[in-house]
Amino acid sequence: MFSLEWGKWLRIILVYISVGVIAAGIAYLADHLGRQIGKRKMSVLRLRPRHTSILITTCTGAAIALITLTVFSFLSEPVRGLLDGMEKLRSEEAELRLNIEILKRTLAEGTFIWRVDEPIVHMTVPGGLSYERTRSAVNSLLAEANSRTVLRSNEIAVEKGETPVQVSDLLIDYDQKGVDEVIDRLAGGSGMIGLRVVAAQNCLYGHKVLIRLESWQVRKVFSENEEVAKREVEPGQAMLDFFRFVEDTRRKALAKGMRPIDGYLGSELNIDDFERLQKQISAQKGKFELAAIANRDLYETSSLDIRIEVRKLEGSADGEAGMHKQESAGFSEAGGGV
């Protein structure tokens, strides 16, 4: 309050002095008029002198209030704006309440495809590539984001009994200038860079999805041929241990810093690899070990590109020397990544 400029302080003081002087003058005139009416026993509107005096006093109080408000409206811009805009504010408030009710009904009836800041897809790109290769990588990621959005939309359409959209339909919307700026930044950068498409706002089913691109320097999580996870397996519960091993691999990858999309790390074991791995596990006669090995350098936004090795352990039933024989099956990538 004490930081106000002297001009504002002076204006406030003048307003108070003006209102005080005017109110005092009206009160004095009303008192003088009341005494004169009392002495002469005058009557207004055929009222008794006493009632006439009360009327004069009441009118005087009302006049003081009206004049005070008038002075404030002329000397104070906020008060003048409040008086002039009161009706406009009421109208805007009514319109705002109506819009809120419409939005509440829309949200109650609608379904979100993506929520604000929810990641849709991501990938890892090396900085410093040519402008053409960088643009191609970004366009590929945007196409994948659109495909995932179409898939989400069609899942909701099936639930609602509505007609799905075409795979070729464009459901995402973005600022091309912002995308071009990201491409320039990537082409002029260095090291490994994470690139992610996220929802810029809550996106309702049946509406275009507004997205934005985010990029940042990512760190390496696993080196090529590095062991991601392993688990010792008992022959009698091989498949149970296998699924525990898969969960161990996922949990350790997340703990080391790999970033999921919808809880998914972007890789899967295809049918052929799964059947081959199942045969390898069934062929074991004693204890063995499953190990997940990185096929390449993996970064925070990479797909979990790994292979599974089946290793015989020392003391197994067939007498093999410990952990020297390995068979493997690879996880195939299911999403973007470098």
**How confident is the model at residue 160, as a pLDDT?**
84
Is 102 domain-assigned?
no
Same domain, 119 and 70: no
Identity of residue 42: M
Same domain, 287 and 214: no
**How confident is the model at residue 80, as a pLDDT?**
54
Q: How far is CA 208 from the centre of its chain?
A: 16
Q: Note the pTM of the prediction, 2 decimals.
A: 0.62
Identity of residue 101: E
**How confident is the model at residue 149, as a pLDDT?**
94
Domain stops at, among 75, 105, 124: 75
Is 68 domain-assigned?
yes
Same domain, 121 and 188: yes
> Which segments in the chain show pLDDT lower than 70?
1-12, 14-15, 19, 30, 33-47, 49-50, 53, 64-65, 68-69, 71-87, 105-110, 314-338
Is 181 domain-assigned?
yes
Per the rule left: phi > 0, alpha: psi between -120 and 50, beta: everything else, 128 is left
Q: Specify the number of domains making up the chain.
A: 3
Same domain, 233 and 321: yes
**Could you list the residue range(s) of the whole structural domain that residue 62 is in?**
6-75
Give one DSSP letter per residue of 129-186, joined into a string. --HHHHHHHHHHHHHHHHHHHHHHHHHHHHHHT-PPPPTT---EE--HHHHHHHHHHH
Q: What is the 3-state secondary structure (H, E, C) of 273-337?
A: HHHHHHHHHHCCCCCEEEEEEECCCEECCCCCCEEEEEEECCCCCCCCCCCCCEEEEECEECCCC
Domain stops at, among 175, 200, 218: 218
**Cβ atoms < 10 Å from Cβ of 167:** 10
Same domain, 244 and 319: yes
Same domain, 53 and 39: yes
